[in-house]
Amino acid sequence: MLQLITFSTLNGVLYGMLLFMMASGLTLIFSMMGVLNFAHAGFYMLGAYFGFEISRHIGFWPGFVVAPLLVGALGALVERYGLRRVHRFGHVSELLFTFGLAFVIEELVQIFWGKLPVDYRIPPALDFVAFRLFDTTYPAYRMFMLLTAVAMFAFLLTILTRTRVGLIIQAALTHPNMVAMLGHDVPKIFMVVFGVGAALAGLAGVIAGPALVTQPGMANLLGPILFVVIIVGGLGSLTGAFVASLLIGIIQTFAVAMNTSFAQLFGPNAPPFLGDLWQVTIAQLAPVIPYLLLVLMLIFRPTGLMGTRES
């Protein structure tokens, strides 16, 4: 039992940190530009695939550095030549643009790398056991992922709170018009923020790729959960996104680990109409839980846990 709790917590926190890597970029983009970037999970996927391709020809570590930069550059281009164009048509058009982009990214990935998973491997340098607890081992690569996520978070926090650029970005988060009138090049800031957000998602992809499966459906698996995270955390709140990421990461991991069902708890005789539900295990319910949380949150508290705005 204790073993289950320890490892589930570790894995849950890791999953949560991964979610936060992406949710932070998404929140920044949304807060500044009012655009909910549907293609964010697509950038995550591109990070994984670019990392894979580079690690195939050169090595994992060059990929670790270059892939997020490539994705970031791509993101900046998307903002500059796509999103900026659509901005004048309104928020709906921006949303639809990123929606279409997400789809196109997935299709392009399928063309270049095929529909089957690719063999993105953990680098040999990190392929050992970190520690042994309660008869189970914990891989070092996961510790590396956790470290990277924490480091990125610290880096982001430092930039936002300790640098001048960060100050401007914080201001533009809530008052973009005012910041523009103060003489700052807000379109350029937007481009940078979008690019950095994409790069963060790409970084998440680079490190998650070897641990989770790198396949064309990976964006669609994580995408909706990402939206759950930022809505539950509160649109526009970085702290909220952090809390929600960890919350959902831990809940889902625990749900998958706990393999019990109503039938196991209460006996095999299901009450009428509940037939299927009686047999289902909590692990099977795991994919549904985030959406249940989303719907409940939107009913009772649309601003999320810590949000300040609804739109």
CB-CB contact of 42 with 71 (8 Å): no
Return d(Cα 274, Cα 297) in angstroms, integer: 25
**For residue 192, which amino acid is it?**
V
CB of 219 to another protein, least distance (A): 12
Asked if residue 138 binds another protein (CB under 8 A), the reply is: no
| C-alpha separations of 45 from 11, 32, 42, 162, 210 in Å | 21, 23, 5, 31, 12
Q: Which helix (H) or strand (E) holds 132?
A: strand 129-133
Whose Cβ is closer to another protein: residue 68's or residue 307's? 307
Give the three-state DSSP class for 139. Answer: strand
> Residues 45-84: x/- map of binding to another protein (CB under 8 A)?
-------------------------------------x--
CB of 279 to another protein, least distance (A): 9
The residue written with tokens 């953990």 in the block is 122
* Residue 271 CB contacts under 8 Å (≥ 6 apart), including other chains: 278
Would you list the DSSP string of 175-201? Answer: -HHHHHHTT--HHHHHHHHHHHHHHHH
Please pick, from the candidates 61, 155, 266, 291, the single residue that binds another protein as defined by CB under 8 A. 291
Q: Which residues pair with 161 in a beta bridge?
A: none
Does residue 117 bind another protein (CB under 8 A)?
no
Q: Shortest CA distance to 8 belongs to which of 138, 149, 128, 135?
A: 138
User: Does the footprint of another protein cover residue 260 (CB under 8 A)?
Assistant: no
Contacting residue, 10, 69, 86, 160, with another protein by CB under 8 A: 86
Phi, psi (deg, nearest 5) at residue 39: -85, 5
Closest separation in Å from C-beta 107 to another protein: 4
The reply to whether 96 sits near another protein by the rule CB under 8 A is yes
**Cα–Cα distance for residue pair 12/24, rounded to 1 Å:** 18
Choosing from 228, 241, 248, 256, the residue that interacts with another protein (CB under 8 A) is 228
The residue written with tokens 């994409």 in the block is 198
From 3-11, 46-54, 103-111, 251-259, give the range in contact with another protein by CB under 8 A: 103-111
Size of the site for another protein (CB under 8 A): 45
Q: Is 153 in the site for another protein (CB under 8 A)?
A: no
For position 244 contacting another protein by CB under 8 A, the verdict is no
Q: Positive or negative, the Cα torsion across 67, 17, 31, 244? A: positive
Choice from 124, 129, 267, 276 touching another protein (CB under 8 A): 276
**Which CB atom, from 173 or from 207, has the smaller least distance to another protein?**
173
Question: Which spans of this chain sit near another protein (rule: CB under 8 A)?
Answer: 36, 82, 85-86, 89, 91-93, 95-97, 99-101, 103-104, 107-108, 111-114, 220, 224, 227-228, 231, 235, 275-277, 280, 284-285, 287-288, 291-292, 294-295, 298-299, 302, 310-311
